[in-house]
Amino acid sequence: MRGRTSAVVALAVTAALVAAPAAPAAAARCDTRPIQTALKALEKIGAGITVTVRSPRCGVWTGGVGLADRKTGRKVTGNEHSRIGSNTKTWTATVVLQLVGEGKIKLDDTVDQYLPGLIRTEHYDGRTITIRQLLQHTSGLPDYLSAPFWEDEEAHRWDHIEPLQTVQQALPLPPPERTPSGFAYSNTNYNLAGLIVAKVTGRGIDTEIDQRIVKRLGLRETSWPGDRTTIPKPDLRGYVRDGRAWVDKTEWNTSEADASGALISTGADTTAFWTALLTGKLLAPAQLAEMKQTIPDDYGQDYGLGVEGYRFGSGLVAWGHSGSMASGHKFRNAVTEDGRRAVTLLIGADSFNSDKVQAIMGNLLRDLR
């Protein structure tokens, strides 16, 4: 949620089969060689990384490389909890589109219809900004993280901050630079979407995500932290590079992230969510089709309604949404169009070769069977 990216101590490779196909014959055809190749490549990234893989023959597989905790030497096993940052946006967009399917929201309704008078400045007018534009980052609203208040994020590490405050922080800012498609990535958009969900349902976006997605799918390791600064155990510690040293920034009050990036989860839970989403278990066909209508974003990639479209080599198309937090946690995932193959990475470091990680994910997704 804090910004977005396009895609060590002794390292160890660990892996465990979490769920395999029921039939023994199908399990026998599971080929983990592509996974092992990916793990060896990820070792060189220099971070603690949990790896979750889903494929028709292998079911759901979890493992990892590196250290979950550099201080204690605890190795990554694959079941660690982590902040998933902006991947939360997909969960928020899913709730909004469910409400669209129920006739409670229309994508082309304006913000002002739900939050009258909130956005009325020299540069921004809620009467001309639609729900669709919020979800696709074409509203023209600036990112609240560009406000002077956030120049020193560390100063607000323990603060409780309401989503409405973040919107108010954004409104005095000048309009952001936009791509020809009108795209300008802004966390403000999703905190506004969360406020609209609350106005329509009478319940916060945290409750709606919990009731409509988490409980519905039985995701026992996914949680909304609120003001809780810790991550459930076992945790993937988050590290930020300070010169040559890695500093543990795991504990953080992320209340301001709200609908744009607050969720905590595991690789297995997020993989289950994305599989359910792309196979039509959470959205009706019409709403899923709306979600996947894309425009070029600031990286030249495809961006739909809360989803990023990836085009790997060999014509492979996949969906996901990256995430990044000031606590040193990063998130990467890619799921094939049919939801049958998926790769999810939770990364406990704020700096690494993102292009290399994306390439490793693409190769693994391509080779999974």
Residue 167: which region, alpha, beta or left (left: phi > 0; alpha: psi -120 to 50)?
alpha
Q: Which long-range contacts (CB under 8 A, 24 or more apart) does 198-201 make?
A: 199/114, 199/115, 200/99, 200/104, 200/105, 200/114, 201/99, 201/104
pTM of the model: 0.94
Q: Which residues contact 168 (CB under 8 A, 6 or more apart)?
A: none
Active site residues per annotation: 86
Q: pLDDT tens per residue, the chain (369 residues)?
A: 545 554 433 333 344 444 444 444 444 588 999 999 999 999 999 999 999 999 999 999 999 999 999 999 999 999 999 999 999 999 999 999 999 999 999 999 999 999 999 999 999 999 999 999 999 999 999 999 999 999 999 999 999 999 999 999 999 999 999 999 999 999 999 999 999 999 999 999 999 999 999 999 999 999 999 999 999 999 999 999 999 999 999 999 999 999 999 999 999 999 999 999 999 999 999 999 999 999 999 999 999 999 999 999 878 999 999 999 999 999 999 999 999 999 999 999 999 999 999 999 999 999 999
CA 172/CA 120 separation, integer angstroms: 11
Contact predicate 213/219, CB 8 Å: yes
